[in-house]
Amino acid sequence: MSTITHPGILPATTDNQSFLLKRIQPALSGLMDGSLSTLAPIFAVMLATHHPLTAFYTGAATALGAGVSMAFSEGLSDTGDLTGRGGPVLRGAITGGGTLAGGIFHTLPFLIPSYSAAISAAISVVAAELLTLAWLRHKFFQTSFARSFLAVTVGGTIIASLSSALGILAAR
């Protein structure tokens, strides 16, 4: 069997491809879902209410709900027998855990009582999340870092724009 190697990247062997398919892909899928899908409710509530603690509870509930939803969705999508994607319980747990983690990190800054400090900290966390997602895609799936960063940033920007508009409308 031939292997393809690049500096810092796992060789493309059957074992590594299986690891990517069964562990890394579900984790990355969950992280991306959690990081992006939870932005809208958190920022809409924060902009509408200007109450960081309300945004925190919204974000925590969204991250928990999305984590459970993604765990069940991934776990019930197939048994793994035909696709080779691994056992549904572990795959669901990995995806759900990734979704929870992706959603909770930018929720934590809303424990800061100051509106402007909480928003600033959350934006910094989101930027770090986007960089991390792009790096993970680059490292494990050999995608261009710039292209990965652009893709997740465009998604985040669309979501942030929609949620900001809703939050501003709700505040009127």
10-residue mean pLDDT series, the chain (172 residues): 50 75 90 90 92 97 96 88 84 95 96 96 94 93 93 90 89 86
Residue 65: its pLDDT value, please? 96
Q: What is the pTM of this model?
A: 0.83
According to the 3-state scheme, what is the secondary structure of the chain? Answer: CCCCCECCECCCCHHHHHHHHHHHHHHHHHHHHHHHHCHHHHHHHHHHHCCHHHHHHHHHHHHHHHHHHHHHHHHHHCCCCCCCCCCHHHHHHHHHHHHHHHHHCCCHHHHCCCHHHHHHHHHHHHHHHHHHHHHHHHHHHCCCHHHHHHHHHHHHHHHHHHHHHHHHHHHC
Residue 3: its pLDDT value, please? 46
Residue 2: its pLDDT value, please? 43
In this structure, is the dihedral angle defined by the CA atoms of residues 135, 137, 141 and 146, taken in order, positive or negative? negative
Q: Report CA-CA distances (Å) from 138 to 57, 77, 142, 171.
A: 33, 26, 5, 40
pLDDT tens across 94-137, in order? 999 999 999 999 999 999 999 999 999 999 999 999 999 999 99
